[in-house]
Amino acid sequence: MDPPNISPQLDRLDDELDNLEEALQPILGNISDVANKLPLLDKAKLYVLATYSIESMLFSSLRLNGVDAKEHPVFKELTRVRQYFDKIKNIETPPEKPEQTLNKEAAIRFIKADLAENNNKVVNTKLSEMIAKERAKAALKAAKSSGGKRKAEISIPPEETNTESNSEEVESEGSRKKKKKEKKEQKKHKDKKSKKASK
């Protein structure tokens, strides 16, 4: 059995190696001159890519010579250089920081609870409207992020308290306090009149 004629492939490989040598010559000829003109991150990329290309050519050469390249120290060096690729990638795209957002709805509830003592009906209704708007915005944002849901499937969270009943409760508490004060004043006034009448 005659071995296959591989001389055309060898000639082609020789030509490709010459082309590769010409292409790498500007970079590898004087790599420090090229690297000095680059920013720091690009400089790191250049050095890692140059090292990786040299190591991979050595690895290929070992494989062509029939050596078990995976047991050779060149393979360990290749894996080490690949780790540098990952490090550079992590630097280029840093992990996203979690968003710090103000929970407007909670802030409005705090303000509303604080102002409820003042019995200001106008402020309470405005704050209730703002809470409703914030809930609607949150529901729309959730709908956009859920993507595939249809409008009918998206539920808008109900308000914790009805604005009218809440303002009525605040109003009724305030009116009860006023009535008590008025009764006390009327009683004092009657007591004064009765004392004057008895004199």
Q: Residues 85, 130: one domain?
A: no
Identify which of 57-61, 100-104, 123-127 has the greatest average pLDDT.
Answer: 57-61
Per-residue confidence at 197, pLDDT binned at 50, 70, 90? low
Q: What span, in angstroms and rounded, lies between the C-alpha atoms of 153 and 198?
A: 77
Q: Residues 107, 159: one domain?
A: yes
Q: Residues 123, 87: one domain?
A: no
Q: What is the mean pLDDT of residues 22-39?
A: 80
Instruction: State residue 31's pLDDT score.
Output: 80
- Name the domain count of the chain: 2
Q: Residues 108, 70: one domain?
A: no
Count other C-beta atoms under 10 Å from residue 164's C-beta. 10
Say whether pTM exceeds 0.85: no
pLDDT at 138 > cutoff 90:
no
Q: Provide the phi-psi class of 66: left if phi over 0, else alpha when psi is between -120 and 50, else beta.
A: left
Per-residue confidence at 6, pLDDT binned at 50, 70, 90? confident
